Amino acid sequence: MPLEEIGWLRRGACKSSDPELFFPLAASPVQEAQAKAVCATCQVLTECRSYALKAGETDGIWGGLTPEERRRTRFPAGWRNSAAS
């Protein structure tokens, strides 16, 4: 990913956070809530979330969403059936 495409990341509220909060070895509800609390204050949340959804990021918290939440956003229930019709 070219740096200019994620330049907004430099303005992210997480830039001074422990990376393990956003990319834990073992995710937990407490860790997710803490990371999401940081995202909730972030001025580039929209850019971050859009990037992660478009890029298909499979790991970590991006834009206040967990990998599972991003997967459900990208592929909502029934998407396969509606794509086939």
CA neighbor of 35 nearest in space, from 58, 17, 52? 17
How is residue 35 written in tokens? Answer: 């990371």
- Annotated ligand binding at 48? The verdict is yes
Q: Which amino acid is at 58?
A: T
Count of other CB atoms within 10 angstroms of residue 6? 15
Of 18-37, which residues contact ligand SF4 (CB under 6 A)? Answer: 22
Spatial separation of the C-alpha atoms in residues 35 and 76, rounded to whole Å: 24
Q: Does 39 participate in binding ligand SF4 (rule CB under 6 A)? A: yes
Subset of residues 41 to 80 that bind ligand SF4, contact rule: CB under 6 A? 42, 44-45, 48, 61-64
How many residues at the interface with ligand SF4, by CB under 6 A?
15
Residues contributing to the site for ligand SF4 (CB under 6 A): 9, 12-14, 22, 38-39, 42, 44-45, 48, 61-64
Bind-site residues for [4Fe-4S] cluster: 14, 39, 42, 48
